[in-house]
């Protein structure tokens, strides 16, 4: 069975590699992922946040696997995806597409939905959506 292709989407930016602190908000068919940017390796202010918006989203998840699981081979894309810690669109046939059991389904998932995958420090964000956008320069308050 052929593996899908992974298109890198976060050119010139990335999530904070130590503490991205992801938050997910659902607004109808739009899903927003907010997180802190990596100011260690990219042009970003300390505590600068961004928002990725996924339009016409049919399903999303924020859960397993973390970076340790990836390197131990516990991720369904270990050895298939180019690397951990990046934001990808998965393109092509993929028999692993819906393997996790923690999807939050908003509408029926279509084979025409694009599959987005973001490997973060302590978890993985995925969604099926028609399109996405990126907004940076947001301020976030850290809630402890």
Please report the DSSP string for 37-80 in residue order. B-TTTSS--TTEEEEEEEET--EEEEES--HHHHHTT-STTTTT
CA distances in angstroms from 126 to 1, 44, 100, 103, 123, listed in the order given: 22, 24, 10, 9, 10
Q: What is the DSSP letter of 141?
A: P
CB neighbour burial string for 31-67, b if at least 16 within 10 angstroms, e if fewer: bbbbbbbbeeeeebeeebbbbbbbebbbbbbbeebbb
* Distance in angstroms (rounded) separating the CA atoms of residues 53 and 33: 6
- pLDDT 10s digit of each residue in the chain, 144 long? 788 999 999 999 999 999 999 999 999 999 999 999 999 999 999 899 999 999 999 999 999 888 888 899 989 999 999 999 999 999 999 988 888 889 999 998 887 899 999 999 999 999 999 999 999 988 766 555
Contact 48, 142 (CB under 8 A): no
């Amino acid at each position: 069975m052929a593996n899908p292709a992974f298109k890198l989407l976060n050119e010139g930016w990335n999530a904070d590699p130590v503490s991205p602190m992801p938050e997910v908000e659902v607004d109808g068919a739009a899903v927003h992922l907010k997180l802190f940017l990596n100011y260690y390796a990219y042009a970003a202010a300390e505590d600068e946040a961004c928002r990725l918006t996924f339009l016409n989203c049919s399903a999303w998840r924020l859960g397993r696997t973390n970076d340790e699981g990836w390197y131990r081979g516990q991720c369904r894309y270990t050895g298939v995806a180019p690397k951990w810690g990046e934001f990808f669109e998965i393109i092509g046939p993929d028999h692993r597409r819906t393997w996790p059991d923690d999807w939050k389904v908003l509408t029926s998932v279509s084979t025409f939905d694009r599959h987005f995958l973001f490997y973060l420090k302590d978890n993985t964000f995925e969604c099926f959506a028609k399109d996405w956008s990126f907004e940076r320069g947001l301020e976030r308050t850290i809630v402890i």
